[in-house]
């Protein structure tokens, strides 16, 4: 059991890709198979994981598994209220005093030094009342759900014993790194500075470009925080941002009959979340901006962290698994006789038909997708290993039990996404 006062062999900070979020949901079965958990296990290192006693507000996969829904947001609202009340009744959330994986779904770069239990816990009662009153528009309801989702998640991950007025309850992820002095620190952050929203909504607009352009400055500041917080001999492993065209949700506007390889399809669409076409030139510009941001971030962080930093080129690795653009690139599951690709998940009468690298939101990976990311991180660390893809598939509760109501969910979530909802989740 991890103690807040004890050093850690390995810790992780970051966003949803390191918490194990799938289908816009956070639950123990997902946290258990996060990338940091897989990396630590492969290296033979102990890692205390944030295995929550119940999902954070809701689990979309469970909701959809219970049958077809016409009013998805209202169903989520009702589930979230009951779920939150159960969280509030618990005097203590975990037997673990502290967690080694402090990644938070939806976190931006500055959240790593600003967030704490004390910052979010006082906001939860008011947000709960606002959600219960339900006097606003659908947009208002989703906004409140998003704020509660993040606040409750941060409170649980950063202070599972629920004790207020302590050093831990006031500590950010960076401050907890300073307190626990890990020998290895895994970092994945930056996707919520415009990349995730543009990938989900398909809006690579002026606001997205400006937000993304600010990433190197924020990463340079983060490097300074990491240099001050982590021990002098700590190995700090930092991931680049992924390549936008790899995102499963960005799909050719019409079903393709050929694969363009290194080239682009004529136009793309946000499969969930948007209706406007994204011309090939715009998606290539998106790729080029992220590549440039990665290069600048690496250079500026290296200047601060020096030999302590290990840079993992996730952008480059995306091409190795890009089954959307290459016919011969996929993740094969021998035990199931299927091939997973970075295409929108397609379920027909409860049976797998297409996709599978990502979950119901076409953004966050399934366990096999996370396993491949973990392999990329391990290789970047100089410890290349092949993880069992059959074990990863068997551990994925979504792929093992596909919801028959998913096609109806697609219609509703696409409409809601076109209105700009779920931004930042």
- The string of DSSP codes covering 80-121 is HHHHHHHHHH-S-S-S-SS-SB---TT--TTHHHH--HHHHG
CA dihedral 7, 367, 103, 329 (to 10 degrees): 110
d(C-alpha 282, C-alpha 288), whole Å: 10
d(C-alpha 219, C-alpha 217), whole Å: 5
d(C-alpha 239, C-alpha 133), whole Å: 41
CA distances from 13 to 16, 203, 264, 317, 340 (A): 10, 28, 34, 21, 28
pLDDT of residue 65: 76
Write out the H or E segment, with its range, that includes residue 178: helix 173-180
Burial of 237 (C-beta count, 10 Å sphere; 0-12/13-18/19+):
buried
d(C-alpha 30, C-alpha 110), whole Å: 25
Judged by DSSP in three states, 215 sits in helix
Q: Which residues of 187-205 are buried (b: 16+ CB within 10 A; e: fewer)?
A: bbbbbbbbbbbbbbbbbbe
d(C-alpha 336, C-alpha 393), whole Å: 9
Domains plus CATH for the chain?
10-418 (3.40.50.1110)
Is 172 within 8 Å of 112 (Cβ atoms)?
Answer: yes
pLDDT of residue 419: 46
Judged by DSSP in three states, 257 sits in coil
Per-residue pLDDT of the chain in tens (425 residues, 90 and over written 9): 788 889 999 999 999 999 999 988 999 999 999 999 999 999 999 999 999 999 999 998 888 777 655 577 888 899 999 999 999 999 999 999 999 999 999 999 999 999 999 999 999 999 999 999 977 777 788 889 999 999 999 999 999 999 999 999 999 999 999 999 999 999 999 999 999 999 988 899 999 999 999 999 999 999 999 999 999 999 999 999 999 999 999 999 888 889 999 999 999 999 886 667 899 999 999 999 999 999 999 999 999 999 999 999 999 999 999 999 999 999 999 999 999 999 999 888 778 999 999 998 899 999 999 999 999 999 999 999 999 999 999 999 999 988 876 665 665 665 555 444 455 55
pLDDT of residue 403: 81
pLDDT of residue 71: 74
CA distances from 302 to 48, 110, 224, 238, 299 (A): 29, 19, 11, 10, 5
pLDDT of residue 232: 96
pLDDT of residue 420: 47
How many residues can be counted in the chain? 425
């Amino acid at each position: 059991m991890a103690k807040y006062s004890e050093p850690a062999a390995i810790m992780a900070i970051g966003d949803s890709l390191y918490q194990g979020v799938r289908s816009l949901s956070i639950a123990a079965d997902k946290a258990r198979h996060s990338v940091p958990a897989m990396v630590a296990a492969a290296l033979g290192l102990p890692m205390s994981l944030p295995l929550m006693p119940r999902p954070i507000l809701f689990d979309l996969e469970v909701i959809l598994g219970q049958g077809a829904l016409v009013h998805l947001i209202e169903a989520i609202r009702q589930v979230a209220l009951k779920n939150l009340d159960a969280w509030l009744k618990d005097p203590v959330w975990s037997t673990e005093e502290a967690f080694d994986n402090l990644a938070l779904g939806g976190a931006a770069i500055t959240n790593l030094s600003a967030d704490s239990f004390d910052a979010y816990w006082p906001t939860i009662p008011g947000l709960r009342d606002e959600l219960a009153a339900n006097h606003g528009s659908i947009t208002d309801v989703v906004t409140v759900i998003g704020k509660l989702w993040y606040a409750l998640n941060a409170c649980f991950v950063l202070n599972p014993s629920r004790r207020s007025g302590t050093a831990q309850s006031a500590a950010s992820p960076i401050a907890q790194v300073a307190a626990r002095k890990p020998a290895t620190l895994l970092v994945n952050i930056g996707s919520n500075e415009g990349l995730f929203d543009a990938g989900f909504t398909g809006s690579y607009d002026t606001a997205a470009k400006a937000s993304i352009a600010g990433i190197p400055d924020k990463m340079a500041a983060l490097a300074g925080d990491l240099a001050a917080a982590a021990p002098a001999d700590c190995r700090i492993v930092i991931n680049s941002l992924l390549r936008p065209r790899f995102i499963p949700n960005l799909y050719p506007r019409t079903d393709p009959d050929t694969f363009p390889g290194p080239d682009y399809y004529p136009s793309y669409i946000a499969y969930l979340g948007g209706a406007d076409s994204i011309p090939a030139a715009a998606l290539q510009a998106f790729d080029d901006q992220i590549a440039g941001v990665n290069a600048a971030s690496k250079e500026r962080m290296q200047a601060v962290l020096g030999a302590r930093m290990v840079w993992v080129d996730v952008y480059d690795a995306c091409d190795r698994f890009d089954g959307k653009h290459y016919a011969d690139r996929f993740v094969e599951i021998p035990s199931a006789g299927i091939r997973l690709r970075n295409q929108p998940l397609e379920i027909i009468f409860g049976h797998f038909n297409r996709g599978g690298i990502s979950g119901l939101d076409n953004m966050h990976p399934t366990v096999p997708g996370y396993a491949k990311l973990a392999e990329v991180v391990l290789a970047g660390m100089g410890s290349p290993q092949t993880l069992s893809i059959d074990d990863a598939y068997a551990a994925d509760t979504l792929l093992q039990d596909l919801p028959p109501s998913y096609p109806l969910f697609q219609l509703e979530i696409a409409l809601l996404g076109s209105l700009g909802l779920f931004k930042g989740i």
